[in-house]
Amino acid sequence: MKQIAYLLLFTIFLSSCGSNNNEQPTKPYLIILSLDGFRWDYPEKANTPTFDSLARVGVRAESLKPSFPTKTFPNHYTIATGLYPDNHGIVLNRFHAPDLGKNYSISKRETIIDGDFYGGTPMWNVAEMQGMKSATLFWVGASADVNGRHASHWSLYNEELPMDSRIDSLVNWLSLPEKEKPHLIMWYYHEPDAVGHHYGPNSPEVVAEVEKLDAFVGDFFTEMRKLPIFNQLNFIITSDHGMAELSPEKVIFLDEFIDTNKLEFWDGSSPVLNLKTKPGELEEVYNNINAKHDHLLVWKHGEVPEELNYGNNIRTHDLTITSDSGWSIYWSWKQRKSLGTHGFLNSCKDMHAIFYAAGPAFKQEHIQPTFNNVDIYPLAGKILDLEMPDSDGEIKNVKGMLR
Ligand code: AMP
Ligand code: ZN
Ligand code: ZN
Protein backbone atom coordinates (compact mmCIF):
# COMPACT_ATOMS: atom_id res chain seq x y z
CA MET A 1 0.00 0.00 0.00
CA LYS A 2 2.82 2.30 1.02
CA GLN A 3 4.62 1.42 -2.20
CA ILE A 4 1.56 2.15 -4.34
CA ALA A 5 0.98 5.55 -2.76
CA TYR A 6 4.61 6.43 -3.30
CA LEU A 7 4.59 5.29 -6.91
CA LEU A 8 1.43 7.24 -7.69
CA LEU A 9 2.73 10.47 -6.28
CA PHE A 10 6.13 9.94 -7.79
CA THR A 11 4.91 9.09 -11.27
CA ILE A 12 2.62 12.05 -11.45
CA PHE A 13 5.16 14.58 -10.27
CA LEU A 14 7.78 13.13 -12.60
CA SER A 15 5.41 13.47 -15.51
CA SER A 16 5.02 17.12 -14.69
CA CYS A 17 8.66 17.95 -15.45
CA GLY A 18 8.48 17.49 -19.16
CA SER A 19 4.91 18.63 -19.56
CA ASN A 20 3.73 17.80 -23.04
CA ASN A 21 0.12 18.79 -22.66
CA ASN A 22 -1.41 21.42 -24.91
CA GLU A 23 -2.68 23.75 -22.21
CA GLN A 24 -1.88 27.42 -22.54
CA PRO A 25 0.79 28.49 -20.08
CA THR A 26 -0.98 30.11 -17.14
CA LYS A 27 0.13 31.87 -14.01
CA PRO A 28 1.85 29.55 -11.52
CA TYR A 29 0.13 28.06 -8.49
CA LEU A 30 1.22 27.65 -4.89
CA ILE A 31 -0.68 25.84 -2.14
CA ILE A 32 0.73 26.17 1.38
CA LEU A 33 -0.57 23.94 4.16
CA SER A 34 0.39 24.50 7.78
CA LEU A 35 -0.07 21.66 10.25
CA ASP A 36 0.21 23.36 13.63
CA GLY A 37 3.03 22.20 15.90
CA PHE A 38 4.42 19.58 13.48
CA ARG A 39 7.93 19.14 14.83
CA TRP A 40 10.72 18.64 12.30
CA ASP A 41 11.48 15.08 13.38
CA TYR A 42 7.96 13.68 13.82
CA PRO A 43 8.10 11.84 10.47
CA GLU A 44 11.11 9.89 11.80
CA LYS A 45 9.01 8.61 14.69
CA ALA A 46 6.00 7.44 12.68
CA ASN A 47 4.95 5.61 9.54
CA THR A 48 4.49 8.46 7.05
CA PRO A 49 4.36 7.14 3.47
CA THR A 50 2.95 10.39 2.08
CA PHE A 51 5.62 12.60 3.62
CA ASP A 52 8.30 10.12 2.58
CA SER A 53 7.13 10.16 -1.01
CA LEU A 54 6.90 13.96 -1.00
CA ALA A 55 10.54 14.07 0.05
CA ARG A 56 11.44 11.84 -2.89
CA VAL A 57 9.52 13.72 -5.55
CA GLY A 58 10.36 17.14 -4.16
CA VAL A 59 12.10 18.92 -1.33
CA ARG A 60 12.47 18.14 2.34
CA ALA A 61 14.18 20.63 4.59
CA GLU A 62 16.36 19.34 7.37
CA SER A 63 14.14 21.62 9.46
CA LEU A 64 12.39 24.98 9.33
CA LYS A 65 13.57 27.43 11.98
CA PRO A 66 10.67 29.41 13.41
CA SER A 67 10.89 32.96 14.70
CA PHE A 68 11.00 33.85 18.38
CA PRO A 69 8.69 33.58 20.28
CA THR A 70 7.91 30.15 18.85
CA LYS A 71 4.15 30.57 19.28
CA THR A 72 1.34 30.01 16.79
CA PHE A 73 0.10 33.48 15.92
CA PRO A 74 3.47 35.24 15.69
CA ASN A 75 4.82 32.48 13.42
CA HIS A 76 1.89 32.03 11.07
CA TYR A 77 1.83 35.74 10.48
CA THR A 78 5.62 35.68 9.97
CA ILE A 79 5.23 33.06 7.25
CA ALA A 80 2.52 35.21 5.65
CA THR A 81 4.55 38.46 5.72
CA GLY A 82 8.23 37.46 5.78
CA LEU A 83 8.63 39.71 8.83
CA TYR A 84 9.82 38.82 12.33
CA PRO A 85 7.10 39.20 14.99
CA ASP A 86 8.72 42.43 16.20
CA ASN A 87 8.32 43.84 12.71
CA HIS A 88 4.76 42.68 11.94
CA GLY A 89 3.34 43.40 15.40
CA ILE A 90 1.78 40.06 16.40
CA VAL A 91 4.35 39.71 19.17
CA LEU A 92 2.55 36.97 21.15
CA ASN A 93 -0.75 35.08 21.00
CA ARG A 94 -2.17 37.63 23.47
CA PHE A 95 -0.80 41.11 24.10
CA HIS A 96 -1.60 44.71 24.89
CA ALA A 97 -0.85 47.14 22.05
CA PRO A 98 -0.08 50.52 23.65
CA ASP A 99 0.14 52.07 20.17
CA LEU A 100 -3.54 51.22 19.62
CA GLY A 101 -4.77 51.27 23.20
CA LYS A 102 -6.25 47.82 22.51
CA ASN A 103 -5.72 44.21 23.58
CA TYR A 104 -5.22 41.34 21.12
CA SER A 105 -6.16 37.76 21.92
CA ILE A 106 -6.35 34.61 19.84
CA SER A 107 -9.50 33.66 21.67
CA LYS A 108 -11.34 36.94 20.92
CA ARG A 109 -12.74 36.97 17.41
CA GLU A 110 -13.25 40.75 17.40
CA THR A 111 -9.51 41.25 17.86
CA ILE A 112 -8.44 38.54 15.39
CA ILE A 113 -10.43 40.28 12.65
CA ASP A 114 -9.18 43.78 13.57
CA GLY A 115 -6.76 44.79 10.81
CA ASP A 116 -5.17 47.52 12.97
CA PHE A 117 -3.06 44.92 14.76
CA TYR A 118 -1.43 43.48 11.65
CA GLY A 119 1.64 45.05 10.02
CA GLY A 120 3.39 44.11 6.79
CA THR A 121 1.74 42.88 3.62
CA PRO A 122 0.55 39.27 3.80
CA MET A 123 1.32 37.36 0.63
CA TRP A 124 -2.38 36.93 -0.24
CA ASN A 125 -2.62 40.73 -0.41
CA VAL A 126 0.52 40.94 -2.54
CA ALA A 127 -1.10 38.49 -4.95
CA GLU A 128 -4.40 40.37 -5.03
CA MET A 129 -2.67 43.72 -5.61
CA GLN A 130 -0.84 42.21 -8.59
CA GLY A 131 -3.97 40.80 -10.20
CA MET A 132 -3.73 37.24 -8.86
CA LYS A 133 -6.64 35.68 -6.95
CA SER A 134 -5.86 34.10 -3.60
CA ALA A 135 -7.66 31.99 -1.01
CA THR A 136 -7.11 31.33 2.67
CA LEU A 137 -8.62 28.76 4.96
CA PHE A 138 -8.02 29.80 8.56
CA TRP A 139 -4.51 31.22 8.21
CA VAL A 140 -3.66 33.66 11.00
CA GLY A 141 -4.41 37.21 9.89
CA ALA A 142 -6.49 36.17 6.92
CA SER A 143 -9.84 37.08 8.48
CA ALA A 144 -8.73 40.69 9.02
CA ASP A 145 -8.66 43.48 6.48
CA VAL A 146 -4.97 44.34 6.37
CA ASN A 147 -4.56 47.71 4.69
CA GLY A 148 -8.19 47.37 3.65
CA ARG A 149 -7.70 44.10 1.77
CA HIS A 150 -8.05 40.38 2.16
CA ALA A 151 -7.92 37.29 -0.04
CA SER A 152 -10.69 36.82 -2.64
CA HIS A 153 -11.80 33.65 -0.83
CA TRP A 154 -11.67 33.35 2.96
CA SER A 155 -13.82 32.45 5.95
CA LEU A 156 -13.95 32.94 9.70
CA TYR A 157 -12.04 30.42 11.81
CA ASN A 158 -13.92 27.20 12.44
CA GLU A 159 -11.84 24.55 14.14
CA GLU A 160 -14.70 22.05 13.83
CA LEU A 161 -14.58 22.00 10.03
CA PRO A 162 -13.56 18.41 9.19
CA MET A 163 -10.49 17.68 7.13
CA ASP A 164 -12.55 16.34 4.24
CA SER A 165 -14.51 19.57 4.02
CA ARG A 166 -11.27 21.54 3.97
CA ILE A 167 -10.04 19.44 1.05
CA ASP A 168 -13.40 19.99 -0.70
CA SER A 169 -12.95 23.76 -0.37
CA LEU A 170 -9.60 23.54 -2.13
CA VAL A 171 -10.98 21.31 -4.87
CA ASN A 172 -13.85 23.76 -5.41
CA TRP A 173 -11.57 26.77 -5.55
CA LEU A 174 -9.21 25.10 -8.00
CA SER A 175 -12.15 24.18 -10.20
CA LEU A 176 -13.42 27.75 -10.55
CA PRO A 177 -13.23 29.60 -13.87
CA GLU A 178 -9.83 31.19 -14.38
CA LYS A 179 -10.90 34.70 -13.46
CA GLU A 180 -11.99 33.58 -9.98
CA LYS A 181 -9.52 30.74 -9.45
CA PRO A 182 -6.97 31.33 -6.67
CA HIS A 183 -3.32 30.77 -7.63
CA LEU A 184 -2.17 31.14 -4.03
CA ILE A 185 -3.91 29.12 -1.33
CA MET A 186 -2.88 29.11 2.35
CA TRP A 187 -4.68 26.64 4.60
CA TYR A 188 -4.33 25.42 8.14
CA TYR A 189 -5.09 22.56 10.52
CA HIS A 190 -4.67 22.74 14.30
CA GLU A 191 -2.98 19.34 14.79
CA PRO A 192 -0.63 17.83 15.89
CA ASP A 193 -0.25 20.86 18.20
CA ALA A 194 -3.17 20.04 20.47
CA VAL A 195 -2.15 16.39 20.92
CA GLY A 196 1.47 17.46 21.44
CA HIS A 197 0.47 19.80 24.28
CA HIS A 198 -1.76 17.25 25.92
CA TYR A 199 0.35 14.10 25.75
CA GLY A 200 3.84 15.46 25.05
CA PRO A 201 5.89 15.21 21.84
CA ASN A 202 7.27 11.76 22.62
CA SER A 203 3.93 10.10 23.25
CA PRO A 204 2.26 7.31 21.24
CA GLU A 205 -0.69 9.69 20.83
CA VAL A 206 1.50 12.06 18.81
CA VAL A 207 2.69 9.18 16.63
CA ALA A 208 -0.94 8.19 15.97
CA GLU A 209 -1.90 11.78 15.15
CA VAL A 210 1.06 12.17 12.78
CA GLU A 211 0.01 8.99 10.97
CA LYS A 212 -3.54 10.31 10.72
CA LEU A 213 -2.26 13.57 9.26
CA ASP A 214 -0.06 11.67 6.80
CA ALA A 215 -3.18 9.83 5.60
CA PHE A 216 -5.05 13.13 5.39
CA VAL A 217 -2.32 14.65 3.25
CA GLY A 218 -2.43 11.47 1.14
CA ASP A 219 -6.19 11.94 0.63
CA PHE A 220 -5.56 15.55 -0.28
CA PHE A 221 -3.12 14.55 -3.02
CA THR A 222 -5.55 11.93 -4.29
CA GLU A 223 -8.10 14.71 -4.82
CA MET A 224 -5.53 17.10 -6.29
CA ARG A 225 -4.41 14.50 -8.84
CA LYS A 226 -7.94 14.44 -10.25
CA LEU A 227 -7.70 18.10 -11.24
CA PRO A 228 -6.70 18.83 -14.85
CA ILE A 229 -4.24 21.46 -13.56
CA PHE A 230 -2.50 19.07 -11.15
CA ASN A 231 0.77 19.16 -13.09
CA GLN A 232 0.95 22.92 -12.60
CA LEU A 233 0.40 22.92 -8.85
CA ASN A 234 3.21 23.64 -6.41
CA PHE A 235 2.76 22.47 -2.84
CA ILE A 236 4.39 23.42 0.44
CA ILE A 237 3.56 21.56 3.65
CA THR A 238 5.00 23.21 6.69
CA SER A 239 4.36 24.23 10.28
CA ASP A 240 4.68 27.14 12.68
CA HIS A 241 6.91 25.53 15.36
CA GLY A 242 7.74 22.25 17.08
CA MET A 243 7.07 20.99 20.60
CA ALA A 244 9.24 20.35 23.69
CA GLU A 245 8.60 17.85 26.44
CA LEU A 246 7.83 19.35 29.83
CA SER A 247 8.65 17.83 33.16
CA PRO A 248 6.88 18.37 36.48
CA GLU A 249 10.33 18.82 38.04
CA LYS A 250 11.29 21.64 35.70
CA VAL A 251 9.03 24.42 36.93
CA ILE A 252 9.99 27.98 37.81
CA PHE A 253 7.48 29.87 39.94
CA LEU A 254 7.67 33.48 38.90
CA ASP A 255 6.29 34.83 42.14
CA GLU A 256 9.55 33.76 43.80
CA PHE A 257 11.29 36.43 41.71
CA ILE A 258 8.62 38.94 40.75
CA ASP A 259 6.51 41.15 43.00
CA THR A 260 3.38 41.68 40.93
CA ASN A 261 2.65 44.90 42.86
CA LYS A 262 5.51 46.39 40.89
CA LEU A 263 3.92 45.52 37.54
CA GLU A 264 1.29 47.41 35.56
CA PHE A 265 0.43 44.19 33.72
CA TRP A 266 2.03 41.30 31.86
CA ASP A 267 1.32 39.48 28.61
CA GLY A 268 1.90 35.88 27.60
CA SER A 269 2.20 32.57 29.33
CA SER A 270 4.83 29.88 29.79
CA PRO A 271 7.47 30.02 28.42
CA VAL A 272 7.40 33.66 27.21
CA LEU A 273 6.11 36.70 29.07
CA ASN A 274 6.44 40.42 28.48
CA LEU A 275 6.16 42.62 31.58
CA LYS A 276 5.12 46.25 31.91
CA THR A 277 6.59 47.64 35.13
CA LYS A 278 5.18 50.51 37.16
CA PRO A 279 7.04 53.83 36.88
CA GLY A 280 10.41 53.69 38.68
CA GLU A 281 10.26 49.91 39.29
CA LEU A 282 12.04 48.58 36.20
CA GLU A 283 15.53 48.23 37.69
CA GLU A 284 14.35 46.44 40.79
CA VAL A 285 12.09 44.04 38.92
CA TYR A 286 14.90 43.31 36.44
CA ASN A 287 17.51 42.76 39.17
CA ASN A 288 15.22 40.42 41.04
CA ILE A 289 14.92 38.13 38.01
CA ASN A 290 18.29 38.46 36.36
CA ALA A 291 20.65 35.57 37.10
CA LYS A 292 18.44 34.36 39.96
CA HIS A 293 17.63 31.03 38.35
CA ASP A 294 19.88 29.03 36.03
CA HIS A 295 17.08 28.37 33.55
CA LEU A 296 15.31 31.73 33.56
CA LEU A 297 16.29 34.43 31.06
CA VAL A 298 15.36 38.11 31.19
CA TRP A 299 16.08 41.06 28.93
CA LYS A 300 15.15 44.71 28.98
CA HIS A 301 13.37 46.26 26.02
CA GLY A 302 15.92 46.75 23.25
CA GLU A 303 18.42 44.34 24.83
CA VAL A 304 17.11 40.98 23.65
CA PRO A 305 19.97 39.18 21.82
CA GLU A 306 20.09 40.26 18.21
CA GLU A 307 19.63 36.75 16.81
CA LEU A 308 16.14 36.60 18.34
CA ASN A 309 14.98 39.70 16.42
CA TYR A 310 12.66 40.55 19.29
CA GLY A 311 12.06 43.04 22.08
CA ASN A 312 12.14 46.32 20.14
CA ASN A 313 8.42 46.57 19.39
CA ILE A 314 6.45 48.77 21.79
CA ARG A 315 4.06 45.82 22.23
CA THR A 316 6.81 43.83 24.01
CA HIS A 317 6.83 46.39 26.88
CA ASP A 318 9.69 46.71 29.43
CA LEU A 319 10.97 43.19 30.01
CA THR A 320 10.91 39.91 28.09
CA ILE A 321 11.37 36.73 30.11
CA THR A 322 11.67 33.15 28.95
CA SER A 323 13.10 29.84 30.11
CA ASP A 324 15.39 27.14 28.78
CA SER A 325 13.72 24.46 26.69
CA GLY A 326 11.59 22.09 28.74
CA TRP A 327 11.24 24.47 31.70
CA SER A 328 7.81 25.88 32.53
CA ILE A 329 7.35 29.35 34.00
CA TYR A 330 4.19 29.63 36.04
CA TRP A 331 2.63 31.83 38.65
CA SER A 332 2.08 29.52 41.61
CA TRP A 333 -1.62 30.44 41.74
CA LYS A 334 -2.15 29.60 38.09
CA GLN A 335 -0.32 26.37 37.47
CA ARG A 336 -1.35 24.53 34.34
CA LYS A 337 -0.61 20.94 33.53
CA SER A 338 0.52 20.01 30.07
CA LEU A 339 3.18 17.61 28.89
CA GLY A 340 4.37 19.61 25.92
CA THR A 341 4.72 23.21 24.88
CA HIS A 342 6.48 25.64 22.54
CA GLY A 343 7.53 29.26 22.68
CA PHE A 344 11.16 28.57 23.61
CA LEU A 345 14.22 30.03 21.87
CA ASN A 346 14.26 29.24 18.16
CA SER A 347 17.83 27.93 18.49
CA CYS A 348 16.32 24.95 20.33
CA LYS A 349 15.90 22.20 17.74
CA ASP A 350 12.71 20.92 19.39
CA MET A 351 11.09 24.19 18.28
CA HIS A 352 11.91 23.54 14.62
CA ALA A 353 9.15 22.64 12.19
CA ILE A 354 8.74 20.58 9.02
CA PHE A 355 9.06 21.88 5.47
CA TYR A 356 8.19 19.75 2.43
CA ALA A 357 7.61 21.02 -1.09
CA ALA A 358 6.83 19.51 -4.47
CA GLY A 359 5.63 20.54 -7.90
CA PRO A 360 7.05 21.92 -11.13
CA ALA A 361 8.95 24.76 -9.39
CA PHE A 362 10.85 22.43 -7.07
CA LYS A 363 13.83 20.15 -7.47
CA GLN A 364 13.34 16.46 -6.85
CA GLU A 365 14.92 14.44 -4.06
CA HIS A 366 16.40 17.65 -2.76
CA ILE A 367 17.40 18.08 0.87
CA GLN A 368 17.38 21.70 1.91
CA PRO A 369 19.51 22.74 4.90
CA THR A 370 17.65 24.31 7.83
CA PHE A 371 16.34 27.78 6.95
CA ASN A 372 14.35 30.57 8.61
CA ASN A 373 10.59 30.78 8.18
CA VAL A 374 10.87 34.44 7.04
CA ASP A 375 12.43 33.07 3.83
CA ILE A 376 9.17 31.41 2.73
CA TYR A 377 7.85 34.85 1.71
CA PRO A 378 10.44 35.61 -0.97
CA LEU A 379 10.30 31.94 -2.01
CA ALA A 380 6.54 32.22 -2.62
CA GLY A 381 7.11 35.45 -4.54
CA LYS A 382 9.65 33.77 -6.80
CA ILE A 383 7.38 30.78 -7.48
CA LEU A 384 4.34 32.95 -8.18
CA ASP A 385 6.27 35.52 -10.16
CA LEU A 386 5.18 38.32 -7.84
CA GLU A 387 7.06 41.46 -6.92
CA MET A 388 7.41 41.09 -3.13
CA PRO A 389 7.69 44.02 -0.72
CA ASP A 390 10.89 44.19 1.35
CA SER A 391 10.90 41.63 4.15
CA ASP A 392 13.23 39.95 6.63
CA GLY A 393 13.49 36.93 4.34
CA GLU A 394 16.11 36.39 1.65
CA ILE A 395 15.64 34.44 -1.55
CA LYS A 396 19.33 33.49 -1.64
CA ASN A 397 18.78 31.20 1.36
CA VAL A 398 16.12 29.14 -0.41
CA LYS A 399 16.55 29.40 -4.14
CA GLY A 400 18.67 26.24 -4.14
CA MET A 401 15.46 24.21 -3.77
CA LEU A 402 14.02 25.60 -6.98
CA ARG A 403 14.63 24.20 -10.44
P1 AMP B 1 -1.05 27.85 20.69
O2 AMP B 1 -0.74 26.42 20.72
O3 AMP B 1 -1.61 28.34 21.99
O4 AMP B 1 0.10 28.70 20.24
O5 AMP B 1 -2.23 28.07 19.64
C6 AMP B 1 -2.78 27.06 18.85
C7 AMP B 1 -4.25 27.32 18.64
O8 AMP B 1 -4.47 28.49 17.89
C9 AMP B 1 -4.93 26.25 17.82
O10 AMP B 1 -5.30 25.15 18.59
C11 AMP B 1 -6.13 26.96 17.26
O12 AMP B 1 -7.24 26.75 18.10
C13 AMP B 1 -5.76 28.43 17.34
N14 AMP B 1 -5.76 29.04 16.00
C15 AMP B 1 -4.90 28.81 15.00
N16 AMP B 1 -5.18 29.56 13.92
C17 AMP B 1 -6.26 30.30 14.26
C18 AMP B 1 -7.02 31.29 13.56
N19 AMP B 1 -6.73 31.66 12.31
N20 AMP B 1 -8.05 31.85 14.22
C21 AMP B 1 -8.33 31.50 15.49
N22 AMP B 1 -7.66 30.58 16.19
C23 AMP B 1 -6.63 29.98 15.58
ZN1 ZN C 1 1.16 26.54 16.72
ZN1 ZN D 1 0.49 25.09 20.68
In this predicted model, what pLDDT tens digit does every residue of 175-207 receive, in sequence order?
A: 999 999 999 999 999 999 999 999 999 999 999
Residues 112 and 136 in one domain: yes
Closest CA to ligand 1's atom 20: 157
Nearest to 121 by CA among 142, 140, 147: 147
Asked whether 191 lines ligand 1 (CB < 6 A), one says no
Does 237 share its domain with 257? no
CATH code for position 310: 3.30.1360.180
- Residue 181 in contact with ligand 1 by CB distance below 6 A: no
Residues 104 and 57 in one domain: yes
110 lines ligand 1 (CB under 6 A): no
Ligand 1 atom closest to the CA of 188, numbered from 1: 16
Verify that 362 and 303 share a domain, yes or no: no
User: Is there a single domain that holds both residue 270 and residue 221?
Assistant: no
Note whether residue 166 is domain-resident: yes
Say whether both 330 and 359 belong to one domain: no
Full residue range of the structural domain in which residue 280 is found: 251-337
**Residue 112 Cβ contacting ligand 1 at under 6 Å:** yes
How many angstroms separate the alpha carbon of residue 44 from the centre of ligand 3? 21
Q: Which of these, 266, 271, 96, lies nearest to 197 by C-alpha position?
A: 271
* Shared-domain flag, residues 37 and 103: yes
Q: How far apart are CA 105 and CA 92, in angstroms?
A: 9
**Residue 341: predicted pLDDT:** 97
144 in Cβ contact with 117 (< 8 Å): yes
- Do 201 and 99 share a structural domain? yes
Q: Is 94 in the pocket of ligand 1 (CB under 6 A)?
A: no
How large a percentage of the chain has pLDDT more than 70?
Answer: 94
- Domain co-membership, 224 together with 78: yes
CA dihedral 65, 70, 76, 77 (to 10 degrees): -100
Question: Which residue from 73, 105, 108, 195 has its CB within 8 A of the most atoms of ligand 1, so it is best to mutate?
Answer: 73
What does each C-alpha distance from 118 to 4, 90, 149 come to in angstroms? 44, 7, 12
Residues 204 and 322 grouped into a single domain: no
Closest listed ligand to the CA of 191: 1
Q: In this structure, is residue 133 part of a structural domain?
A: yes
Classify residue 165: in a domain, yes or no: yes
Do 279 and 394 share a domain, yes or no? no
- CATH code at 69? 3.40.720.10
pLDDT category at 337 given cuts 50, 70, 90 is: confident
Indicate whether 182 and 41 sit together in one domain: yes
Distance CA 371, CA 350 (A): 15
Summarize pLDDT for 61-106 with one digit per residue, the tens. 999 999 999 999 999 999 999 999 999 999 999 999 999 999 999 9
Going from the Cα of 342 to the center of ligand 3, the distance in angstroms, rounded, reads 6
Residue 13, domain member (yes or no): no
Nearest to 191 by CA among 169, 160, 228, 223: 160
d(CA 225, CA 103): 44
Q: Is 193 in the pocket of ligand 1 (CB under 6 A)?
A: yes
pTM: predicted TM-score of the whole model, two decimal places: 0.95
In a domain, 73, yes or no: yes
Total domains, the chain: 2
Is residue 18 situated within a structural domain? no
By most ligand atoms within 8 Å of CB, the mutation choice from 106, 198, 342, 351 for ligand 1 is 106
- Domain membership of residue 287 (yes or no) is yes
Say if 288 falls within a structural domain.
Answer: yes
pLDDT at 15: 44
> In the prediction, which pLDDT does 241 show?
98
